[in-house]
Structure 1
């Protein structure tokens, strides 16, 4: 872990130095602007590192949330600055090659100033768009048809809430917004498919209090995601979910009955879990082969562990749809799908882009969603 931290800090330091060279040094701004730009880069990067490491601990979570919001949002700005300025460097090479030697210093200074301004405008504009997009998760509707679905469950609606990431950036107000939108859809069943929280329990338990208001006649159920495993408070969080009226499926299943007919709802711990929280798909899916089974697993990749076990539909999240472009190009390196519907090792899987966001409260080309799935017998 120490080696990983040192490598990460080294990479962040080098990237910050490169940004300083392209935005501050190469354009040769006045001394006052160079000092201001240098200080701003250092402060924002230091705050971002502190936020990622969980070092923003003064006062309450509400006290540190604006600072965490700014620091983590800066990471997206920095990423887009890197992309634009890296592309500009290729153009700068052409400018250098075609410009007579005696004119190169002046022309490159003008070019560097222009590209610094363009990069700032593009990065800030794209990130601002992403902030607005991330703030309002929308209901998206889809249908899943299965011949195994009992007639009594034909037309049942399932609200899939994933990746809320309540904690450092997303507070109780965001959770309440999600709850209000879910309840407005009047689903028969609500599923929380992992990464509900993203922070230590004692400091951030109030952030999920609104989840107690989720209302569905067939119940509200949840499984863990990888970030529940990272909090260091997994057991405390699961106990809190139960206290709020959410049934935790911890490598277990439950029968849901309507009009004398039943389906099985099964859930497994995330694949990042260990010890008491290690995933046990064979235990979760024991006895589910004969009827219709909804399977809750945070990562779509976990469908590979449930192949040939009678799963009729797996509900997942984790990918965030890439969250920030070009993230969707990276997700397939780890997961078999990015979002929507796919069949993974013979298992039908619906993967949500998620309601919240991890780290920066920003989404670009991957809007947040709360899928409402209508089950149909066909």
Structure 2
């Protein structure tokens, strides 16, 4: 972990120095503008690092939430600044090659003065667009057909709520918005497939209080995600879910009945879990082979260790659909799918882009969603 932090800080430091060079030094701004640009880069980067490390602890969570949102959003601004300025630097190199030596310095300065503001405006615009998009999770509808589905469950709807990431950035207002939209869809069953929370229990317990109002005739179930494991409060969070009326599937399954027919809903801990919270697919799926089985696992990769166990449909999240372009291109390095529907090692899997965000409250080319899945017999 220490090595990872050192590498991350080194990368952030080098990136900040490069941005300083391209935005402040290369354009040759007047001295007051240089000081202002340098100070802004240092303060924003330092605040983002402190926030990401969990260092915003004054006052209440509501006091620090706006600061955390701005600080973490800066990471997206810096990403797009880097991508845009990297492309403009290619143009600067071309300009340098085709310009007589005595004219290079003034021409490059004029070029950098023209492109730096454009890069800032474009990066800020893209991030603002992504912040607006991230605040509006919508219900998306899809259908899954299976011959194993009992007749009584034909037409059953399942709301898949994943990656809420309640905590530092997402407060109870965001959870309330998600709850209201889920309830308005009138699902028969609600599944929370992990990363419901993203912060220590003692400071952020209130963020998920609205989940107590989730309504579904067949119940509300949940499994852990990797961020429940990172909070240091896994047991406390699971106890709170139970208090809110959410059935926690801890490597277990439950029978759901309609009339004379029944299905199984099984859930497994995230693969980042250890000890009492280590994933155990064999235990979770024990005794489910004789019934249609919905399998809830935070990461779609869990299908790779759960094949040939009678899973009829796995429901997952974790990927965020990449959340911010171009990170969706990197998801396949860790997961067998990015979003939507796929068959993974013989297991049908639906993976949601998730309702919330991790880190920056920004989504670009990966809109937040709450899938409503209609189960059909066929």
TM-score tier, shorter chain, comes to over 0.9
1:13 is displaced (CA, Å) by: 0.6
Q: Deviations over 1:108-147 (max 9, x none)?
A: 0011111111111110111111001000000000000000
CA–CA distance in 1 between the matches of 2:42 and 2:79?
Answer: 15
Separation of aligned partners in 1, 2:204 and 2:83: 35
Match in the other structure for 1:243: 243
Alpha-carbon shift at residue 239 of structure 1 (Å): 0.2
| Partner-residue secondary structure (3-state), 1:315 | strand
Q: Tell me the secondary structure at the aligned position of residue 363 of structure 1.
A: coil
Q: Which residue in 1 is equivalent to 2:356?
A: 356
Q: Which residue of 2 aligns with 1:73?
A: 73
Give the drift of 1:7: 1.4
Q: Does 1:4 align with 2:8?
A: no
Runs of 5+ unmatched residues, structure 2: none
Equivalent residue number for residue 126 of structure 1 = 126
Deviations 1:235-272 (A, max 9, x none): 00000000000000000000000011100000000000
Measure how far apart 1:5 and its partner are: 1.2
Helix, strand or coil: the match of 1:263? strand
Written as runs of structure 1 = structure 2, the 5 A alignment for 1:177-326 is 177-326=177-326
- Output the CA distance in 1 between the equivalents of 2:291 and 2:269: 22
Q: Can you list the C-alpha shifts for 1:33-76, whole angstroms capped at 9, x where unaligned?
A: 10000000000000000111000000000000011000000000
TM-score (norm 2): 1.00
Report the Cα distance in structure 2 between the residues aligned to 1:88 and 1:354, rounded to whole angstroms.
34
Q: In structure 2, what is the equivalent of residue 168 of structure 1?
A: 168
Aligned residue for 1:196, secondary structure, equals coil
For residues 63-112 of structure 1, what are the alpha-carbon distances to aligned partners after superposition, in whole Å with 9 as ceiling and x for unaligned? Answer: 00011000000000000000000111111110000000010000000111
Which secondary structure state, in structure 2, belongs to the residue aligned with residue 294 of structure 1? strand
1:21 CA displacement? 0.3
Residues 10-29 of structure 1: matches in 2 within 5 Å? 10-29=10-29
The alpha carbon displacement at 1:294 in A equals 0.1
Aligned-CA RMSD value? 0.5
What do the CA deviations read for 1:311-368 (whole angstroms, capped 9, x no partner)? 0000000000010001110101111100000000000000000000000000001000
Structure 2 Cα separation of the partners of residues 365 and 167 of structure 1: 24
SS of structure 2 residue aligned to 1:366 = coil
Q: State the match for 1:365 in structure 2.
A: 365
Give the ranges of 4+ consecutive aligned residues of structure 1 lying more than 3 Å apart after TM superposition: none
Q: CA deviation at 1:212?
A: 0.1
Distance 2:57 2:294 in 1: 40
Deviations 1:148-184 (CA, angstroms, capped at 9, x unpaired): 0000000000000000000000000000000000000
Aligned length: 378
Separation of aligned partners in 2, 1:9 and 1:319 = 24
